[in-house]
Amino acid sequence: MKSVLTIQSHVAYGYVGNRAAVFPLQRLGIDATAVNTVQFSNHTGYGAWTGQVFTAEHIADIVDGIAARGVLPAQDAVLSGYMGAVELGQVIVETAARVKAANPKAIYCCDPVMGDVGRGFFVRPGLPEFIRDHAVPAADLMTPNQFELEYLTDRKVATLDDALAATAALRARGPRLVLVTSLTRSDADPDSIEMLVDGADGAWLVSTPRLTFDPPPNGSGDAVAALFLAHYLTAFDPADALEKAAAAIFAIFETTRRMGTRELQLIAAQDEFVNPPRRFSATRLK
């Protein structure tokens, strides 16, 4: 059994952060240990919420308690998402290094949650710069959306060539593998949405039909990062993980739209994301 230490936000209601990552990991057979960077009533997309961002000292204390159980060498990966504050980010990067020291085969998957197209940045000042300057060099696998990819590489992504140039630029700064969780480009079918994975062994692109929502559900990037990581840990095959993650999130989207909610329907779609009814083939680009 594979094990993942996932350090992300938590909401009491809805599915973002660890609430969007832990169940998919577990449903796919991964033993997930969750550390919550915040506890909010609901995700911030509603415009109003209650709760707190936990202090860096609190998170470090939780990690110390986990380490005291002697389980860090058993972790196959650290997955991080919404960090909340720069000080929390420092603890997360240090924790990833700590796990990798305990298990040299472990990988650090960083989902650089900080903004999105149309919304801009939605994190505290200083976090984008911290992620760019400290989390990127520490990560083995990065899972940015298109907005985050553009910021982290200071490149505009409008075409497939742009996207490949940006992922190459990001890999040159540390990560061995980059997954772009949502790609919209001028030279693609406007009724589709794509994901791109780029690594030393090649790059692959997968396309799925674009489903419309009003409003769109939050947490899809969190879920995709977890789905991709779960499948990647089984065989370390990026193309296979890409295809399976794309089919899984599409199944979740279909169920969510059918049920007419703004929260990802992970529970209702659990059988579908484990055995998706539709499959999508990845195209090798290089």
Phi, psi of 112 (to 5 degrees): -80, 65
Q: Is 9 annotated as a binding residue?
A: yes
How far apart are the C-alpha atoms of 73 and 62, rounded to whole Å?
A: 17
Phi, psi of 110 (to 5 degrees): -110, 115
* Count of CB atoms situated within 10 Å of the CB of 12: 12
How far apart are the C-alpha atoms of 79 and 223, rounded to whole Å?
A: 12
* Count of CB atoms situated within 10 Å of the CB of 119: 9
Q: Looking at the DSSP assignment, which residues form a beta bridge with residue 206? A: 195
Q: Is 207 annotated as a binding residue?
A: no
Phi, psi of 61 (to 5 degrees): -65, -40
How far apart are the C-alpha atoms of 98 and 190, rounded to whole Å?
A: 43
Beta strand 107-110 with 141-142: parallel, antiparallel or unpaired?
parallel
Residue type at 40 in one-letter notation? F
Q: Is 222 annotated as a binding residue?
A: yes
Chain centre to alpha carbon of residue 86: 18
Q: Is 140 annotated as a binding residue?
A: no
Question: Which residues carry a binding-site annotation for substrate?
Answer: 9, 222
Residues contributing to the annotated binding site for ATP? 111, 148
Binding-site positions = 9, 111, 148, 222
